[in-house]
Structure 1
Amino acid sequence: MLSSGQQFGSYSEDDIDALRAFAEEPGIVDLFLSNEWPSGVTNRATASDIPAGMSNSSGSDSTVSQLVAEIKPRYHIAGTKGAFYAREPYSNVDAVHVTRFLGLASVGNKEKQKFLHALSPTPSSAMSAAEISAKPPNTTLSPYTLADQVDRPKEATMRAGDNAPDSQYWRYDVSNKRQKHGNGDGNKVCFKFISSGSCPRGEKCNFQHDVDAREQFLRGVCLDFIIKGKCEKGPDCNFKHSLQDEGESYSRKRPGSGNNSANRLKECWFCLSSPNVEIHLVTSIGENFYCALAKGPLVQDHVLLIPVEHLPNTLCLSADSEIELGKFQNSLKMYYKNQGKEAVFFEWISKRGTHANLQAVPVPSSKAAALKDIFNLAAEKLGFEFVTKKFNNNSEGRKWLKTQFDKNFSCFYVELPEGSILSHLVEENEKFPAQFGREVLAGLLNMADRADWRNCTLGKEEETKLAENFKKLFDVFDPSQRLLKRM
């Protein structure tokens, strides 16, 4: 591990944290270059292909191994060892694509080993989901998980058993249930904490674990702007250069930013009037709500119910909006049931949230009975208990939810097919994953590799086809279409 102020060559711990931030950004890293080889890269590789002496630790770095395991590049190229080595591709944990490692020899080496290697990779952004997830026959497991299995045999055994009740929820470690601020330098914030919500160094981290900065990042504020107060990309940057709502400890304002409220609406992903909205994902539009295909869907027909008005959550709706939301929910229930599935609705409400969206995910009817136990088990792993109540109809359940909600706290709730609603108000400094609902359902459906939506992103053409197919099948159930037909 790095100690305070320690450096490896010309890079420091701060540089490493900056690279770690890439692991949390949308998209796949195509190419990663490092001077040192990653420690353990020859684990699980074919022994006859490994050059002599390459398994020793000289010229290798465990920090590089950790970075590569987090960043998950498609290609990793390194030097230092002075020998050419093209390892078999290996699969990544919680990602669908493989990584190919290439070690290059020294220039002009006496053995005349390759110090140049031609590559012509297609950028992942231009590849289809099938191309990205393709695995050659000689693909191995990740070389970097071997040490973890040795250190934690009990955990590895639990992961392997699909029938064990908690086998799907290994990511929720009770020991991390209440992560708070690090004890670091007040002038610098931790890249890893801001980008992922956690830092493996905990209180030993040299940088601040600033919760406000983390919230700003989740709201789409530029990471450079948060850390440095400026961004060199300027207007070419795809992220916000103004702080959203209550960022008092980061109160710098972008010069000439104008009306912040108007800017937020313009930059919002879900406002239909925004240039950032991906209109090809929209499947139906009502008076107060619209339905859209989820970006990076967990399963087919995973959709979002989104208020047309820019509202922070669906628990502050007008009476008319609430009625229309109920119609959309009932229509989706009928549509899913027609396919032998049940509807699960959930919403993550950040106390600094921007535009509300209620997620609707179909699950096979055969698995619906396990939903309540599985969500409760996942909550136990995180160290909290849901407030649970069962209702005979959706309207009564949502009225109860409004009585439980406190706008001063973030909140998660899930509506289950049998009428139960599970809700949780998130305490200050409580570590709660924003993708909790999706991650739990991914575990139930044995789709751990799809727990993160960024691993499931599709090209615009494929997204359009899925949206059009959903429109066609949902048309007979669509409340907005029924309204038009009556007019």
Structure 2
Amino acid sequence: MSKETLKILVAGSVQGNFKQLCTRVNNVNSKSGPFHLLLIPGQVIGDNVETWLGLRDGSYKLDVPTYVLGATKQAHSPYFSHIVDGEVTENVTYLGRRGVYTTTNGLSIAYISGVFGDGTSNEPHCYTETDLNILQAQSGILNGIDILITNQWPSDVLRYVKNPDFPVPEGIPQLSHLANTIKPRYHFVSGPYYERLPYRNHKILHEKATFCTRFISLGCAGNKNKSKWLYAFNCVPMKHMSDDELRKQPLETTENPYIEVEKEKNKEEDKKQQHFYSVGDKRRMTSAPGGTEGREKKKESCWFCLKSPNVEKHLVISVGGSMYLALAKGALRNDHVMIVPTNHIKCQQFLESSQQDDVEKFKRALRTLNRTSKKSTTVFFERSLSTSHMQIQALPVPRYSVNDIKDVFYTFADKYNLEVQEIPAGEDWKEMVPPGSDYFIAEFENQDKLVFLCSQKVRFPLQFGREVLASEELLNMPRRVSWKECKISKEQEEHDVKEFRKSFLEFDPFKVDDSDSDSD
């Protein structure tokens, strides 16, 4: 793709004024265009629904490819629910509930439709924390977002600038966090016309310099006050720009206005973390090695505790200080293995640092093995829901890019309406899991992670990890999703363990002599 400068139009709320919209946009396009696209972050349907039907039926026509957000009122929701593939009419596309749209020119547009809801209802004109988390995760796949469009204002956006001479719309703190996290170059909303001074997305002298964000609110089409409601600008997609070009900032650039909002959010997270550790200390009495009598009873009957009479030792490949590697029961393939604690520990949240170190040693060894011997990337996943003993499963996947594999996880997350958060390599994913909550975590070759919170409102599929990896997009073995359908004889299991142990021996961080390999 060439480094093309795109000509873009953005309009405020239409509220059914399609005659004014089409006349103005088509005139501007004829005189100053052609424009590549028109974005409408505001409310498109008005009180007179007939005008929307007229747009849909071709009574009004736009000469510029136009992208709109969904309903902001319950009464308007049905008019979006039956749109197929986003097509409203010729040249008009409904983007959807939330997501990231990338044009053929490389322009990335993040969007979220509707108004913020408290999450207690499924009203289609409302978005929730889950929607914001998914959008944040989807945006994280890209190297940056060019444009963010939302129906509502974020909180605190006017900090560090002079207050305007109009009533400021009530902002949404969750949108402040979204904007501060995904850092769009432009953030467009609907409301009274206001163009804020650009703000920087880094702390001077503390963080690497990066691009700034321009926040722009546009008025309603054809408003009586004649305030600006159509905005035109040129934009080169950031994927085609050098770092030096992106870092250029106007002299009037201000500090990030969302600092205080983020401080409040961090305080809440600190409280959660403190509570987690206080709860964790109590839980370790029953979950960690050296626990109570109740824990001892669980260990005796557990299928995974290495000293339990129920453990199938013929599946064990290698034993470390506090972890062991074993062939998965009902494996998807004969190189599907698990990292398991030797003692009774429910999940990774309760691991001591030395135990986590053993986990990481096994992970590094498996990554190296799969890269060198199988020309594959390694995916790890763990589910803490409906399990009493930690199991981190590992599977090699043909050399798809990490982003391609993530996309499949996001597709299945959308299918089941799951909350997901992306955690970059090096950051502590445990901080985002509320105390006592169950979770599913997937980790990739570059050590990025996707964390899915198991909400009581949405049933989490117990075979989620297997379903994603067995999908046609990855391993293409959808009939092997259920481990019960993949059972093999003990003789075959012993053969697979022996073969895997041979290939793993060179990379085994806990290598032992052959004479000791079968010892208990």
- TM-score, structure 2 as length reference: 0.41
Bigger Cα Rg: 2
- TM-score, structure 1 as length reference: 0.44
Q: Which has the higher contact order (CA 8 A, sep 6+)?
A: 1
